[in-house]
Chain A
Amino acid sequence: MSTQPHIITLTIDGRELSATVDDSILTIARQHKIDIPTLCFLEGLSTWGACRLCLVEIEGTPKLLSACTTKCVENMVVKTDTERLKQHRKMIIELLFAERNHICSVCVSNGACELQSLAQECGVDHVSVPYRYPSLQLDSSHDLFRLDNNRCILCTRCVRVCDEIEGAHTWDVAGRGIDAHVLTDLNTLWGDSESCTSCGKCVQVCPTGALVQKGTAVAEMHKQREFLPYLTKMRRNHP
């Protein structure tokens, strides 16, 4: 089959852009330096669409749709930066902060946290809903790494990278709604996990201070993600 990719034209923020029908709105926006904030999305992992930060307005559609999961369509008119979207994004970030115990000033990821920097970018100056202050567990049983549920935003990057890239599938999400949380080996302590290869990919893709290397103090945890585009590219070349 030597079919040409079907090229279509769509408008994002007033700019006419070309795309294939397989491209997501987010992919095309990023190719043209149109910034749409994301948290659960990470290039190289499957698309999840859970954080809802990349919601965009599409003309003729009453619902807001996530740019990461919505494919481009001929003559689609997309807006990524309206006042309504800005308000929704601020509220999402506020709810993430209120849901668990994110204390930036004493976090190992202070200064290198995607939630923290997005809050600043989106102009979140305070959290207008009451904080929940849940009582959550830490898992420090692994020799190298630590899970701090207080900082987790349930983006599932750890679950996906472990399953899709490392092939170990150590991580899963348990519980429903407000009780949802990540766990290792179907609720075994991380240190006792038989499937974990201690590769640390989950730590490196985690956007916050939920998964960290042990031995890091405040603001010392800097994530290294270079491996992900590299591995993704290699696999694309040798499927």
Chain B
Amino acid sequence: MSTTTPQKIKVATIWIDGCSGCHMSFLDIDERLIDLVQHIDLLYSPLVDMKEIPAELDLTLVEGAVSNEHDLERVVALRKASKFMIALGDCAVTGNVPSMRNPIGLKPCFDRAYQEMADIVVNDPADGDPGIPALLEMAKPVHEVVTVDLFVQGCPPPADAIFYVLSELIAGRVPDPTLLTRFGA
């Protein structure tokens, strides 16, 4: 394979505050994935087992809003490593469902979920536990945190839209995702 396509595009995908639906939609590209992998090396993703963010990437797809300190840290690191970054899906593009806590405020939201409604009342699990990242005050769309090069709307974006975007980028063209998808699609 690598003899026919000497220069594969180094790709990462990340799933932060989302439902994994965008990754499911990515897999829904189905048999066309076989065409894509001729051109792509998937180096970091929930779909592969790499734990460390690679130093150099051509393209990163971000699913989900930036909602906790770990999300923020990884998005910033991926942005540094990547030449091109795509916000994939409404959570990454608009904040979408994760951002519905923003008008309520973090503390009232947290108290409601983990204390008022809970059978076993716990304090903030992030308190004193380095393994659980603290939530940010607001869940934010990715472009409010780092520069985003392309926005693919949809909840989730249709597989055809994701395939179109990747194929166009591989072909060296700039895709217009609004031709195939929209907010809430």
Bin chain A's interface residue count.
20 to 34
Nearest B residue to A218 via CB reads: B184
Complex CA–CA separation, A124 to B97 (angstroms): 19
**Interface locus among A18-26, A128-136, A222-230:** A128-136
8 shortest interchain CB distances as A-B pairs: A104-B184, A105-B155, A120-B182, A133-B102, A125-B151, A104-B183, A126-B151, A135-B103
Complex CA–CA separation, A153 to B97 (angstroms): 20
Nearest A residue to B104 via CB reads: A135
Q: Does A197 interact with chain B (Cβ within 8 Å)? A: no
**Other CB < 8 Å A-B pairs besides A123-B178, A126-B141, 9 of them?**
A102-B183, A104-B183, A105-B97, A105-B183, A125-B93, A126-B151, A126-B153, A131-B99, A136-B103
Complex CA–CA separation, A117 to B148 (angstroms): 23
CB distance from A217 to the nearest CB of B (A): 14
Complex CA–CA separation, A96 to B100 (angstroms): 17
Cross-chain contact of A101 among B100, B144, B183, B184 (Cβ < 8 A):
B100
Q: Does A11 interact with chain B (Cβ within 8 Å)? A: no
Given A104-B90, A105-B90, A136-B103, A117-B95 contact (CB < 8 Å): no
> CB distance A117 to B182 under 8 Å?
yes
Chain B residues closer than 8 Å to A106, beta-carbon distance:
97, 100
> CB distance A103 to B93 under 8 Å?
no
Cross-chain contact of A110 among B99, B103, B184 (Cβ < 8 A):
B184
> CB distance A126 to B94 under 8 Å?
yes
Given A103-B100, A126-B148, A120-B178 contact (CB < 8 Å): yes
Q: What are the interface flags for A72-92 relative to B under an 8 Å C-beta threshold, 1 for contact and 0 otherwise?
A: 000000000000000000000
Chain B residues closer than 8 Å to A111, beta-carbon distance:
184
CB distance from B138 to the nearest CB of A (A): 7
Chain A residues closer than 8 Å to B148, beta-carbon distance:
126
> CB distance B96 to A103 under 8 Å?
yes
Complex CA–CA separation, A131 to B96 (angstroms): 11
Q: Does A119 interact with chain B (Cβ within 8 Å)? A: yes
Interface size on B, residues (CB 8 A): 27
Q: Does A9 interact with chain B (Cβ within 8 Å)? A: no
Q: Does A116 interact with chain B (Cβ within 8 Å)? A: yes
Chain B residues closer than 8 Å to A7, beta-carbon distance:
none
Q: What are the interface flags for B118-142 relative to A under an 8 Å C-beta threshold, 1 for contact and 0 otherwise?
A: 0000000000000000000010010
Complex CA–CA separation, A128 to B147 (angstroms): 11
Q: Does A107 interact with chain B (Cβ within 8 Å)? A: yes
21 A-B pairs within 8 Å (CB atoms) are namely: A103-B99, A103-B184, A104-B183, A105-B96, A105-B155, A105-B183, A106-B97, A106-B100, A117-B182, A125-B150, A125-B151, A125-B153, A125-B177, A126-B87, A127-B94, A128-B143, A131-B95, A131-B99, A131-B102, A133-B102, A135-B104
> CB distance B93 to A126 under 8 Å?
yes
> CB distance B184 to A107 under 8 Å?
yes
**Which of B94, B102, B151 has the largest number of chain A CB atoms within 10 A?**
B94
> CB distance A116 to B182 under 8 Å?
yes
Chain A residues closer than 8 Å to B183, beta-carbon distance:
97, 102, 104-105, 116, 119-120
Complex CA–CA separation, A104 to B141 (angstroms): 15
Cross-chain contact of A125 among B97, B155, B178 (Cβ < 8 A):
B178
CB distance from A149 to the nearest CB of B (A): 11
Q: Does B176 interact with chain A (Cβ within 8 Å)? A: yes
